Each structure stands twice: as structure tokens, then as C-alpha cells.
Amino acid sequence: MQTTFLPPSSFSAAAAIPDMASYEALCAFAERDYQGYWGKLARENLAWRVPFTRVLDESNAPFFKWFDDGKLNVSYNCLDRNLENGNGGKTAIIFEADDGAVTSITYKELHAKVCKLANGLRARGIAKGDRVVLYMSMSIEAVVAMQACARIGATHSVVFGGFSARALHERIADAGAVAVITADEQLRGGKRLPLKSIVDEALALGGCECVRNVIVYRRTGGNVKHAAPRDIWLHDLMDGQSDVCEPEWVNAEHPLFILYTSGSTGKPKGVQHASGGYLLWTALTMKWTFDIKPDDVYWCTADIGWVTGHSYITYGPTVAGATQVIFEGVPTWPDAGRFWETIEKHKVSIFYTAPTAIRSLIKACETDPKVHPKNYDLSSLRLLGSVGEPINPEAWMWYYRNVGQERCPIIDTFWQTETGGHMITPLPGATPMVPGSCTLPLPGIMAAIVDEAGQDVPNGQGGILVVKRPWPSMIRTIWNDADRFRASYFPEELGGYYLAGDGAIRNKDTGYFTITGRIDDVLNVSGHRMGTMEIESALVAHPLVAEAAVVGKPDATTGESICAFVVLKQARPEGDAAKALAAELRNWVAKEIGPIAKPKEIRFGDNLPKTRSGKIMRRLLRVLAKGESVTQDVSTLENPAILEQLAKAL
Ligand code: WT7
């Protein structure tokens, strides 16, 4: 028996989808007439400059096209439409800075800023189809920059501000960006961290000659180098520009953005999203999953460097005409009550965060009772959300009781960079909730669990999570690598189904989905997606490292942590020498990729456990990382003695 929590009836009464019958009716519509369903929603929810006549084109599967003879502009839908609807004076963004300073901006003001920057970008020769990389921290300007790109049809690629110069360089070069938009510095937890100087470093690595503009937002006033004419201040670029800017009307399939994410190989994948289908799903999920209402104050704590920030900060809330909080800082500064204080301060009604943050705040109030949510007025909250990784039932219960005060439904939203928006999630007014389960697919999302041959498995039996039919906000391709797109997401043995890369199981009685974790070499550390190969490549780039294997280890706070097994080109160090080298290698990885990729643990061995054909047996390393003893069959292992050497932490 699963413990079930029903949506409060007062919530259901006003909800966009008020009960399971309404949910099922939408699902049945999609089953009966897939194209009719999506076509109707796209006509009702978006403003089209040129109406589409085709809904879904499957002729070149898996390169699906949605609404592709229709024309629209994403920024027009997010901004101008709000002005036309009488929402111009409504607050679009409440910016809560790291130090607690608040700036807010109305839809009319946001629209004006976006138009000015869009005109400025055009004045610099940036046009439809050009790629623009953003390397910024959380700010109103980051949203303005993304929307300005969308307005002129430039394809943005946001790189998380915690990535290293090398990681940034790789993404700029792969995207062939003509411009980089950055800030002088960022502020996090009272500290100033560089941005512009990292851009300089990345561009100096060579191969980025495509970049002709570096546009710098002055956040802190910190000292930065200025290479004219390439470099220009954002305010100088916007100054004197008109606050009217005719949008570039693009085809629905026009690439809105590329966002790099980790896969099974060392090279990050540039996930390419389209304009029309993507915007449709962000708009719909704002209504269905977030049940957004005109008076809501919505707060998603994600960073714009991840897909959550794209779909549920830059695009979803604006296309929905919502008021949202954007937060620059960190959840634990000046203390671990910052989230609750901010909810109280801005009367947040919808709060969306990651399980890692919840778990770390649970821990924090065990040592410092002052920061417990009960010390804050959280009565404004009506809905809570979770995203990025599985939420364990204990964290779910704590969130439900202490933050939502048993009054707020929790939406555990399963989705991915590639899916563009929510896929499997409770509907807050309709779905009975079960802690630890993301429950059921949204209407029109044909999620299923199959075996390795693509055959359905019965409920109660685990398998591979797939989506059987294309959906509007799905990934269109991997930038510069269509073959990898096909091989990664539409492997032949699955007969045309989209492969999510996660394992899952459905409950025997309810059919509810529970995600059991990645089935590939992808780790999820604090909700950040990391490829084991990326970290291994960074390690072997160190002059002393001969070979490395990285595995995930379950972690009570971060979900998973990174454990690296390393073979050196020199004798295996022991004692303090081993500890010192481990520290050096951890910092090396942080410098190569970014602090989020720093291994929590490093162990040294004379070799790695390998099969006779030379394949590293990672499943054994996963067992060792957990501190368990190997009970599996090791008869195929070339060098069983090595296991003992790798079993102990430093
Ligand atoms: C991977 C995608 C979701 C957008 C931000 C992360 C895991 C995500 C859940 C959830 C269990 C989840 C999956 C997925 N994941 N949400 N609610 N329950 N697992 O996007 O970086 O592309 O990561 O995050 O493993 O494949 P991403």
C-alpha cells in the first residue's frame, strides 16, 4: 500500500484541471486524435503571426517537425501579448539580490528593455540564426538577454556561470557563437566571483574567432579588461536605442536555443529546441502543473544556466503573464532560512525547488533551530514543486508538513533538458499524491516502460522509460551532431520510441511511475547532471594521471556524489601524500570543468578492475565506492586482487 495524499478540495475547486476525470478526458482526446489535440492547444495558447496548417510532420523521423509552416515570435508571445492584454503595469519580475536588495520591473518595462537590447544586438549586426552565448548569473538582465535573442531570432546558448573557462570555450566553439553576453562579476553568498575575466580566458584559448562581440552587464563595478571594439557595456549598447522593436517572425521550428548537457561520452551535447512547440508546452505546463493564476507570486529557485531556468523562469512565467521572484543568492546565506525569509518577504504562493536544497535545509535546521520554516510566515504558499532528481519520501514529508503546512500539494516534476518541459508529474488539483512518485504523465505525453527490445513490461516490473510518440517541446537534434541525436535518443532496438535514459517502475495498483535513476553513465549530483566520461577526461588531462574511472555513490544530501578511482603514471601514493594529491586532483577537476564536477572522493590503485578484454567493470567500482564488499561474480575479471586495493577510502 502506498501512502496517498489528496489535493485539498479548496485547491481543486479553483484548479485548471480540477479532478481526475478532467485529466482522463484530456488524455483520451490525445489518444483519439493526437494531431487534433495538439493543434487545438497550439491555436488556443499561442499568438501566431502566420497560422500553421500542419500539426506534426513525421516524414523525416526522428527529426520531427511541429506546426512548421506557422510563424510566430517567442518574445512577442511573452511580452507584447501581456501589454495587449492589459498586463503592462503588472510586475513581471521581483529581483531579490544576494544582499537582499529588491528591484522590480513591470511587463511594460521588461518589454522596453528587451526591445532596446534587441535593437542594440541588431545594430551590432547580430541577426536571425546567429548563436549568442550567455555567461551570466541570475539577474533581470539575463532574462532580458534571452528574450532579446528570441526577439531577433538569434539562438541563445546559456552556459551556467559556475562552468570553467575551458568548459565555456568548448561550448562557444561548438555553437560557433558570434557574441557572448556576460557580466563583470557575480555575487553569491556575499562573495564576488569573476565572469568577464573567465570569458576573456575562454576566448584566449583560440578557436573562438567567430566571437565578434562581448557584451558586459555591470553588476558589481569590479575591474574588467575591455578589448574595444569587441567588448561593449550592456548599458552603452542599450543606451539611445528605441524601445520599439519589430519582432523577427520565425518558423515554429526555428531553433530558439541550444543548451549543453551531459551524456555518456566526454563531449557535452548541444540540445537544440524549437520555438513554437517549446513555447506551447511551457505555457501549458504553467497552467496545468503550476496552476498559475493572475494573483500568484511564483518563485523557481533554479539558475538560468539549466533548462529549469529556461522553461520555468525566462519563458513559462512570462508567457503566462505571471509575477515571479528571481533570486541571485544561495539558499544558505546569510543563513539557511533565506528561502523561507524570501517567501515571507515577497508573499510567494508557488515555490519550486530541488530535493538537494530541501535536504540541505532539513540538515541545517537540525543544527540551527532558528532557520526552521516554522519561524517564518509561509501562509502565502499554496503550491510546492520539486525538480531535478528523485525526492525521497522523507524529504517529501518534511517539505509537505513544514513548508506546505499540509495545505499545499507537492508536484514532483520529472523531466529533462531534452524534454523541454514537465513530462510526468501530479496535477496539483487532481492527482492523489504518493511521496517518492512523480505519478502520471501529462495529457498527450505517451510515457511507458519497456524492456531492452522495446516491449511493454507489466506494472510492478522495472524497465526502461520511453516516450512512444513525439511531443511539441521535445529536443529537435544535437547541435552539429544529428547522428548522435539519433543514436542517443532513438536507438533502433526501441522501434522509434524516445529513450529518456532513466529506469522506472510503475505501481501495480495505481500505475504510478517511480524513477529509479539513470541507466547510462550520467550522474545526478545536487540535481546537476554530469557525465562520468567528462570527469574522467578532465582527470586524465592532469600530467600525473594515467587512467581514471568515475562512478556515482548514493549521498544523503546531494543524491549522488562523485567517486573517482585513479591510476597514476607514477607509484601509488599512500598516507598524507595520497591525501595531498587527491586534494590537488579535486581542485584540478574544479578548474577544468567547474566546482560542481569536483569529486567528493578519490582513491588510488595500481590498476582498475578490468575484464580480459580491457573493459573497466564500473559496477564493481560502484559497490566499492559504497563501502560494500563485492559479492558479484568476478570470474571475468583480469585482476581480482585490485579490488582490495580500491576498497578503502583514503
Ligand atoms: C535527469 C534530467 C528536470 C529538469 C532539470 C534537470 C533526473 C529530473 C526528476 C524527478 C526523478 C528526476 C532524471 C532525468 N530527474 N527530475 N522529478 N524525479 N528524477 O534536467 O539536467 O536534463 O536532468 O534528472 O534522471 O533524466 P537534466
Q: What is the pLDDT of residues 354-400, one digit of tens each?
A: 999 999 999 999 999 999 999 999 999 999 999 999 999 999 999 99
198: phi then psi, degrees, rounded to nearest 5 = -75, -35
Query: Is 417 within 8 Å of 311 (Cβ atoms)?
Result: no
d(CA 373, CA 408): 14
Question: How many domains is the chain partitioned into structurally?
Answer: 2
Answer yes or no: do 475 and 586 share one domain. no
- Closest residue by Cα to atom 23, ligand 1, is 416
Name the one residue in this structure whose C-alpha cell is 575562454: 202
Residue 457 belongs to domain spanning: 447-519
Model pLDDT, residue 650: 86
List, in order, residues 6 or more apart from 252 with CB less than 8 Å away. 52, 65, 66, 67, 68, 69, 70, 71, 72, 274, 275, 276, 277
Answer yes or no: do 506 and 530 share one domain. no
Answer yes or no: do 510 and 542 share one domain. no
Q: Does residue 266 surpass a pLDDT of 80? A: no
- Asked, for residue 631, whether it belongs to a domain, the answer is yes
- Closest residue by Cα to atom 18, ligand 1, is 390
Cα-to-centroid distance, 415 and ligand 1 (Å)? 5
Q: ipTM of this predicted complex?
A: 0.99
- Closest residue by Cα to atom 7, ligand 1, is 389
Q: Which of 476, 492, 519 is the last residue of a domain?
A: 519
Q: Strand, coil or helix: what is 480?
A: coil
- Asked, for residue 102, whether it belongs to a domain, the answer is no
- How far, CA to CA in Å, does 49 sit from each of 43, 108, 355, 467? 11, 21, 40, 31
Quick one: which of 167, 181, 198, 391 has its CA closest to 261?
Answer: 167
Answer yes or no: do 484 and 561 share one domain. no
- Asked, for residue 238, whether it belongs to a domain, the answer is no
Name the residue with higher pLDDT: 617 or 248: 248
Percent of the chain residues past pLDDT 90, beyond the cut: 94
Answer yes or no: do 478 and 498 share one domain. yes
Q: Which of 462, 488, 519 is the last residue of a domain?
A: 519
Answer yes or no: do 580 and 619 share one domain. yes
Binding residues: 188-191, 308, 388-390, 412-417, 502, 518, 526, 529, 540, 542, 545
- Asked, for residue 577, whether it belongs to a domain, the answer is yes
Q: Which of 488, 504, 519 is the last residue of a domain?
A: 519
d(CA 329, CA 333): 7
Does ligand 1 come within 6 angstroms of the Cβ of 289?
A: no
Model pLDDT, residue 182: 98
Answer yes or no: do 537 and 511 share one domain. no
Query: Is 617 within 8 Å of 625 (Cβ atoms)?
Result: no
Q: What is the pLDDT of residues 466-476, one digit of tens each?
A: 999 999 999 99
Q: What is the mean pLDDT of residues 447-459?
A: 97
Answer yes or no: do 497 and 566 share one domain. no
Query: Is 327 within 8 Å of 100 (Cβ atoms)?
Result: no
- 444 — pLDDT class (breaks 50, 70, 90): very high
Does ligand 1 come within 6 angstroms of the Cβ of 515?
A: yes
- Asked, for residue 173, whether it belongs to a domain, the answer is no
Does ligand 1 come within 6 angstroms of the Cβ of 356?
A: no
Domain of residue 488, CATH code: 2.30.38.10
Domain of residue 627, CATH code: 3.30.300.30
Q: What is the pLDDT of residues 630-650, one digit of tens each?
A: 888 888 888 888 999 999 888
Best of 422, 424, 529 to mutate for ligand 1, by most ligand atoms within 8 A of CB?
529
- Asked, for residue 335, whether it belongs to a domain, the answer is no
Q: Does residue 146 surpass a pLDDT of 70? A: yes
Answer yes or no: do 536 and 509 share one domain. no
Q: What is the pLDDT of residues 413-430, one digit of tens each?
A: 999 999 999 999 999 999
- Asked, for residue 493, whether it belongs to a domain, the answer is yes
- Asked, for residue 592, whether it belongs to a domain, the answer is yes
Answer yes or no: do 608 and 549 share one domain. yes
Answer yes or no: do 541 and 483 share one domain. no
Does ligand 1 come within 6 angstroms of the Cβ of 261?
A: yes
In this structure, how many other beta carbons lie within 10 angstroms of the beta carbon of residue 460?
11
Model pLDDT, residue 174: 97
Answer yes or no: do 499 and 598 share one domain. no
Instruction: Tell me the H-state helices in 255-414.
Output: 276-288, 307-309, 316-319, 338-346, 355-367, 393-398
Q: Does residue 2 surpass a pLDDT of 80? A: no
Best of 289, 307, 310, 416 to mutate for ligand 1, by most ligand atoms within 8 A of CB?
416
Model pLDDT, residue 308: 98
Q: Does residue 613 surpass a pLDDT of 90? A: no
Binding residues for Mg(2+): 540, 542, 545
d(CA 621, CA 601): 13
Does ligand 1 come within 6 angstroms of the Cβ of 501?
A: yes
